Chain A
Amino acid sequence: MQNEVILKVQDLSRRFGGVRAVDGISFEVKSGEALGIIGPNGSGKSTLINLITGFVKPDKGAVFYKGNNITGLKPHKIASIGIARSFQTVKPFYNLPVYKNLIIPLYSNRVKKQLKGGCMGDRDEAAMHLLEEVGFERESNLPYKITGTLPHGYLKKLELARCLCLDPEIVIVDELFSGMSMSEIASAMPIMEKIVAEGKTLIMIEHRLRELFRVVQGVMVLNFGKIIARGTPEEVVKVEEVKEAYLGKEGETVA
């Protein structure tokens, strides 16, 4: 499986009114690869994710997953074949207790089968386990709180946990770290590293380059809906266009 192309995006385009949010993007991701996507606000990163995961329909272009054309499939179909995504603006189930948030993906067809027995107890246990993994201590009362009362950083982690529930092959996270405190980011880093270590494919949109570059091997830079650079982090930060578009004229040094 390693080094096979798992996701292929071909000439994907989408306009909103006059705005070309995504404009003819093509790229490939290999199985087990960790890819970062960066670019200024409004450059079309989130729209690209929405196109891949079926939340927005493309005007043109196609998406292939393991060689199968998945363009235009419904979002739940795409999720259930193994592409999980998080939302940039968190969308938890505010009125449910925290751990119940994870029962929902665990109830989906993809995982229902894998959870042997599939009875209530199994699912609750699986949910608690995943929560623990993203940093909700089991002993604390956090998992039982109503979700709406959690601080924002925790909601972000919950968003991530919801992706992981699906036991996905590709994890796509959209600006996970924005809105997290430094210590929360520090605690979330090992999770990201673990996802990669487990051999899952990771696509990560991120503004925090320092952390991003520690996780990913390749980076893709978007601007005005187009790819303006792709390569390793070191290569990418050297490209003049990227410095201008993203880092500002002077070009900030990035470790």
Chain B
Amino acid sequence: MFESILVYGLVASAILLLISLGFSITFGLSGIANLSYGGIYLSAGYLTWYLINVLQFPLFAAALTSVTLMAILGALIYRILIIRVRGNIMNEVVVTFALGLATMELFRFLGFGGYGFSLPSVASGGIRILGQAIGFQRLLIIGVAILVALLLWYFTRRTKTGLALLGMAQDEYTALSLGIDSDWSATYSCAIGAAITALAAVLIFPLGVIAIDEGYKVLIRMMAVTVLGGLESTKGLVLACIILGYFQVTVSNLASPRWTEAVFLGAILFVLAFRPSGLIGQSKELEERV
């Protein structure tokens, strides 16, 4: 029991990290809360499925293609839609939210819902850790989640471009005066976010079937994690993923799997009541840079 929680909690945490990194990086780099990633996640899943099953792509090529296409789509969404409402938070949020909804509900209408839509695993089989059977796909997810998180951390804290983008998000005017084009940095950040979300889809969908509600689930988890971790810090994000991941697995082991969704509600309500700015976010309710 205990070992199973230990191992599968880690898997759940990695899954959460992978699906929330895209949203978080876009927000961190450009201040855009891009709520269309639920739709992107689903689109990436179906696109990969289409490439593999209809166009007979090999798995790896299909995955690569969808990640690339989704990155382009993310950039296009910014260039075509978000750019026109940039700066007006309400419009940013509503436009991306509506876009995500439209995508997901369109898929539902087109009959993509049922079983039979699933992606193959990269590798079948598995190993035993602490006596727990764990598939290679799950190991891969853990590895990729950590790798992507580290890469992003390195990119934003150690490379010139990354630092510039980060500075941009914090202080647009200064960045502008340093000659950084805010629109291009936002375009990149949307592309990166969409690509990571697509990558998450390609890796996570093989664990189950591609269902419309997965899109909503992902969107909710993305939000639960970012709300719990606070919008600003990577440390908080990772911490929130670990807490929620383990909590979710514990609850579904001890009580019943149907309670797992309620865990996220609990987390959000907890944050609501006690730490509105996230677990380790300082209360920044009024601060702004002057």
Contact = CB atoms under 8 A, between A and B. Distances in A.
Interface of A: 46-47, 50, 55-57, 75, 87-89, 174
Contacts of B287: 50, 55-56
Per DSSP, are chain B's interface residues mostly helix, strand or loop, or mixed?
Answer: loop
Contacts of A47: 290
B91 interface: no
B283 interface: yes
Contacts, number: 15
Interface of B: 282-283, 286-287, 290
Contacts of B290: 46-47, 50, 87-89, 174
Nearest to B282: A57
A86 to B, nearest CB: 11
Nearest to B173: A89
A201 to B, nearest CB: 22
Nearest to A49: B290
15 contacts: A46-B290, A47-B290, A50-B287, A50-B290, A55-B286, A55-B287, A56-B286, A56-B287, A57-B282, A57-B283, A75-B286, A87-B290, A88-B290, A89-B290, A174-B290
B276 to A, nearest CB: 14
A102 B290 CA distance: 23
Nearest to B283: A57
A195 B176 CA distance: 38
Given A56-B286, A88-B290, A89-B290, 12 more contacts: A46-B290, A47-B290, A50-B287, A50-B290, A55-B286, A55-B287, A56-B287, A57-B282, A57-B283, A75-B286, A87-B290, A174-B290
B64 to A, nearest CB: 37
A46 B283 CA distance: 19
Contacts of A88: 290
For the complex of A and B, the 10 pairs showing the least CB-CB separation, nearest first, are A46-B290, A55-B286, A88-B290, A56-B287, A89-B290, A75-B286, A57-B283, A55-B287, A87-B290, A50-B290
